[in-house]
Amino acid sequence: MRPIEYAEKAIKTMQKTYDAKDLPPKGRFHYHQGVFLSGVYETYQLTKKEEYFAYVKDWVDSVTTENGEFLKQDSGQLDDIQPGILLFPIYEKTKEKKYKILLDQLVKEIDEFPKTTEGAFWHKQRYPYQMWLDGLYMVGPFCVEYGAVFDRPDLWDLTIKQVLLMQEHTRDPKTDLWYHAWDEKREMPWANPVTGQSPEFWGRSIGWVPIAILDDLNYLPKNYPYVKELKKAVVDLLVAISRYQSKEDGRWYQVVDKGGQAGNWLENSCSCLFVAALCRAVSQGLLDESYLQVAKKGYRGVINSLTWEKEELQLGSICVGTGVGDYKHYCERDTSVNDLHGMGAFLLMCVEVEKIK
């Protein structure tokens, strides 16, 4: 099957499992649904099948009111801002006022969100002075698109600042990989008392980084300040990631730099994100075409890991999610089949691989 056919099989499987309004966590405007539905929307853009757009819109309408209010949304964490990227195409297509009201509400939350002393977002209000890699995806693409659509270039500057500060504080100069998190106060048990960095390179957290930056670059003017630095950050990280690809399988490990060590395992969501980012970076001229071989090997590794229940696609080896911890913490995290994190990443991967064929 072509990559886009795998994407459509994945969507059909999920639609059989969940009506749009029932996507978990049911009734909440949250990134679990946002990540998956971002992949559905990307598939819609490629196939132009209106049923996919309708599925996205049906979910948004199920968690918001006609007056432009969220039924359940936590303004104290970046995770509940990410689905805001779905509001842009719906507003553009319908011109309904409620979607603009929702967009503006999310920007208000961003404007008021607490930051480190240097101006980087805390990951959650209950995690003061902590930056997590995931946050770049949760808020950056939304900020940059809002800035482009509604003339808020200050949001471009804010987003660029987040990326550069995250790189400064989490990048390991020996490997060019980025640690999962950083604690400005050096108070968390996981924080290095000197650097504030967490101890491990968690796959999916790293996977969000190039995806987020490449999304950011779609809306930033080409000659905007620090665009070159953002492009270099993507290239350096993807080159580094490529060095840790499993030679036999083609996928990447849960703890990226410790493949083959006891307890570690090949994880599908990060593998999908790395493949998607590599394809995008090549198509945008940031990476040499030789990196498509890395991407294609990773894609085959994920596809070979699929199982089927009749016509329904089963994507396993997906980390259900995690806080920050040590090696044992990441290796002992539960896995799930067809978890929304993984299915969203799978859709993004299939769309990007389809584009390069």
CA distances from 1 to 46, 240, 251 (A): 16, 30, 20
Indicate if the alpha-carbon torsion angle 30, 33, 36, 37 is positive or negative. Answer: negative
Place of tokens 């890699």: 133
**Cβ atoms within 10 Å of 286's Cβ, excluding its own:** 19
Asked if residue 28 lies in contact with residue 73, where contact means CB atoms within 8 angstroms, the answer is yes
- Residues pairing with 335 in the sheet: 319
Backbone dihedral angles phi then psi of residue 120, each to the nearest 5 degrees: -100, 140
User: What sign does the CA torsion over 232, 83, 97, 114 have?
Assistant: negative
Catalytic residue among 134, 215, 249, 257: 134
Q: How far is CA 220 from CA 151, 175, 206, 207, in A?
A: 12, 28, 22, 21
253: Cα separation from own chain's centroid: 17
Task: Determine the Cα angle at 42 with ends 33 and 120, to 5°.
Answer: 60
338/346 Cα distance (integer angstroms): 10
Give the contacts of 299 (CB within 8 A, at least 6 positions apart): 3, 250, 275, 349, 353
Other beta carbons within 10 Å of 48: 8
DSSP state letter for 123:
S
Determine whether 134 is an active site residue: yes
Contact 349, 4 (CB under 8 A): no
Rounded to whole angstroms, the Cα distance separating 144 from 64 reads 23
How far is it, in rounded angstroms, from Cα 324 to Cα 170? 13
Known catalytic residues are: 134
